[in-house]
Amino acid sequence: MTEQTTRTLEQRVAEIEDRLAIYQVIAAYGPAVDSLNLEANDALWTDDCEYELDSGTRVGHAGLRDLLQTPFHQGVVTQGCAHVSSLPYVHLDGEDAYATNYHQLITHTDGQFKILRLTACRWHLQRIGGAWKIRKRTNMLLDGTESARRILRRAGTDP
């Protein structure tokens, strides 16, 4: 193998490893919030993170913890719930990455499971100390509004 081929293979393997690490971060979100594991959830996010929802923006770990302690979130966890993400489309850009996917909040109510929320998500992740962390997540309801479609259009595009 030539030096150029080796370097290209090393770059390609590094990209695969980055994508797998990002998939792991996004996949870990649901189990962390569904089990009310505040420490595990905090570990997924940067210290100065932002979580933008249709209902407003939460900032930092304190903002995330406040969100998980709302009566709404506590209620769905008590009933039984699952935050389920689809496989994201990931765009790598050096120490930043952007992912676009769908997200469902499934709840257990009256002996049945129902989709309570279906959203379009845009994740901005940063590599910090060798680990990928969520810097910003934008999460908009798929209720026919332009804000959700705008997020979905970002799949397959640059940041």
pLDDT, tens only, 56-100? 899 999 999 999 999 999 999 999 999 999 999 999 999 999 999
pLDDT, tens only, 36-56? 999 999 999 999 999 999 888
> What does the DSSP assignment read for 6-30?
HHHHHHHHHHHHHHHHHHHHHHHHH
**Model-wide pTM > 0.85:** yes
Domains, the chain, ranges and CATH?
A: 3-152 (3.10.450.50)
* Dihedral, 143, 119, 125, 49 alpha carbons, nearest 10: 80
DSSP assignment letter at 69: T
